[in-house]
Amino acid sequence: MKILVANLGSTSFKYRLFDMDDTQATLCAKGGFERVSEYTPCIEEMLATLMAEGHLAQGEDLDAVGFKTVLGKDLSGCVAADERVLTALEGFKEVAPAHNPAYAEGIRCFQQKLPSVTRVALFETAFFQWVNPAATMYAIPASWRELGIRRYGFHGASHKFIAERSAELLGNDAVARRARGLYVDGPGDYSGAPLRVISCHLGGSSSVVGIENGVAIGSSMGFSPQSGLPQNNRVGDLDSMAIPYVNKMLGLAVEEAEHQLNKESGLLALSGISNDARDIREAAAAGNADAQLAVDVLVDSIRHWAGSFYFKMGGAEVISFTAGIGENDPQLRAKVCAGLEGLGVVLDPTANEATTGGAEGIISAPDSTIKICVIPANEELVIAREVYRFKQSQ
Ligand code: ADP
């Protein structure tokens, strides 16, 4: 079955083509476009490339297209990307302005261009469907809650892959099976060997998630992907009183404050240099105090959330690092794990330094009771697998 995974940013379009069957997923092609203002020409060029490379005779040879949709009002899970999804994306476009309009437009373009090809949406919130309601609530008036203001959790496809892969790496087949089948079978009951994972997705946008026996118990991200850890140019968590205060003191309208929090904050604002962790790390190494502060704030926030999930789960068997920073920055990983020997967290410095550039590995010392893993992100594979199952269940 030929499944295309479409990753749509507000200015980019990336794709991967998988050939799937019951036992394996083969990545056939990948590509993308930057500085995109319209998706239709990109889809046409992508199809032309896939045909020229011999993967497809025509666009209609695709069995399905999967979309990594972010936040739907009243809708989550793995569902047909139909009018219901478009309405759900539209309903929360103010909450995820960089993502929802892009996916709505992209889904419409595929609908027009390839109407016979099945379209499937896998929401980034799907992995958090089973979080205890007490961990999803903000203490706000009922009229606010009725708008859908609550904690959701994002990066679901990435954290689900970590749930599966951590279990495989630790040889816990029962948890690996449970995590893999979660969206179809639900969590059900579990009585096997425990596997509690603190999953750190650290990239342009970052989140820490607690995963108990393959099922998420909570995320550092809340109502929107703007919350939680400091992001590349987005604020992360902020006390709600700050907005009325800057409104009074600086005369900032809500829209201006929103713009500054979403575009001019995060690691960019703290470092005063860049929104890219590589530049910040280099400047910090060269003695720039603001760059060092940005790194320290990120590390402190990762430890804050990791500690929260450690306590909530009553311990952990694994700490996993993934995404651009998590996979490539041994220094940051070492800072996150520093001084935790009392909890049984002991890094192997040589393995830590050696595991970069897309490598997978266990970077804890043999006597570390909590294993520390680096796992390259593979969100697209999770989407392709769910789309495959969705197609088969039709
Ligand atoms: P996203 O998909 O959210 O844009 P990525 O997972 O691609 O993010 O991660 C991008 C981030 O990873 C950037 O901040 C980049 O600087 C960082 N990164 C990539 N390579 C390295 C590296 N070698 N060392 C430190 N940070 C890195």
- Pair (66, 171) in one structural domain: no
pLDDT of residue 10: 75
Show the CA angle centred on residue 259, arms to residues 258 and 263, nearest 5°.
Answer: 120
- Pair (295, 374) in one structural domain: yes
Residue 68 domain-assigned? yes
pLDDT of residue 66: 98
Asked if residue 14 has its Cβ within 6 Å of ligand 1, the reply is: no
- Pair (277, 181) in one structural domain: yes
At 43, is the secondary structure helix, strand, or coil? helix
- Pair (26, 98) in one structural domain: yes
The pLDDT tens digits for 56-101 are 999 999 999 999 999 999 999 999 999 999 999 999 999 998 899 9
Residue 118 structure tokens: 């099945």
Residue 336 structure tokens: 């996150």
β-pair type (64-67, 25-33): unpaired
**52 in Cβ contact with 106 (< 8 Å):** no
Asked if residue 203 has its Cβ within 6 Å of ligand 1, the reply is: yes
Residue 141 domain-assigned? no
Average of per-residue pLDDT values in the chain: 96
Separation of CA 327 and ligand 1 centre (Å): 8
Mean of the pLDDT values across residues 238-265? 96
- Pair (119, 171) in one structural domain: no
Q: Output the domain CATH number for residue 77.
A: 3.30.420.40
Separation of CA 233 and ligand 1 centre (Å): 13
The pLDDT tens digits for 300-318 are 999 999 999 999 999 999 9
Tell me, letter by letter, the H, E, C secondary structure of 299-334: HHHHHHHHHHHHHHHCCCCEEEEEHHHHHHCHHHHH
Residue 135 domain-assigned? no
- Pair (113, 161) in one structural domain: no
Q: Which of 101, 123, 145 is the last residue of a domain?
A: 123
Show the CA angle centred on residue 120, arms to residues 116 and 125, nearest 5°.
Answer: 165
- Pair (181, 297) in one structural domain: yes
- Pair (200, 282) in one structural domain: yes
Q: Which of 123, 148, 165 is the last residue of a domain?
A: 123
Mean of the pLDDT values across residues 187-194? 96
How is the beta sheet containing 25-33 ordered, strand by strand? 25-33, 13-20, 2-8, 64-67, 118-122, 78-80
Q: Which atom of ligand 1 is nearest to the CA of 377?
A: 6
Residue 11 belongs to domain spanning? 2-123
Separation of CA 141 and ligand 1 centre (Å): 38
At 117, is the secondary structure helix, strand, or coil? coil
Residue 150 domain-assigned? no
Mean of the pLDDT values across residues 332-345? 98
The pLDDT tens digits for 203-238 are 999 999 999 999 999 999 999 999 999 999 999 999
- Pair (285, 353) in one structural domain: yes
**10, 162, 325: residue to mutate for ligand 1 pocket, most atoms within 8 A of CB:** 325
Separation of CA 228 and ligand 1 centre (Å): 18
Separation of CA 155 and ligand 1 centre (Å): 15
- Pair (206, 354) in one structural domain: yes
Residue 170 structure tokens: 């630790």
Residue 140 domain-assigned? no
Place of tokens 């919350």: 227
Residue 98 domain-assigned? yes
- Pair (214, 348) in one structural domain: yes
Residue 263 domain-assigned? yes
pLDDT of residue 182: 95
Structurally, the chain folds into a number of domains equal to: 2
Asked if residue 385 has its Cβ within 6 Å of ligand 1, the reply is: no
Kindly state the percentage of the chain with pLDDT values over 90. Answer: 95
- Pair (180, 70) in one structural domain: no
Residue 144 domain-assigned? no
- Does residue 391 carry a pLDDT above 80? yes
pTM score = 0.96
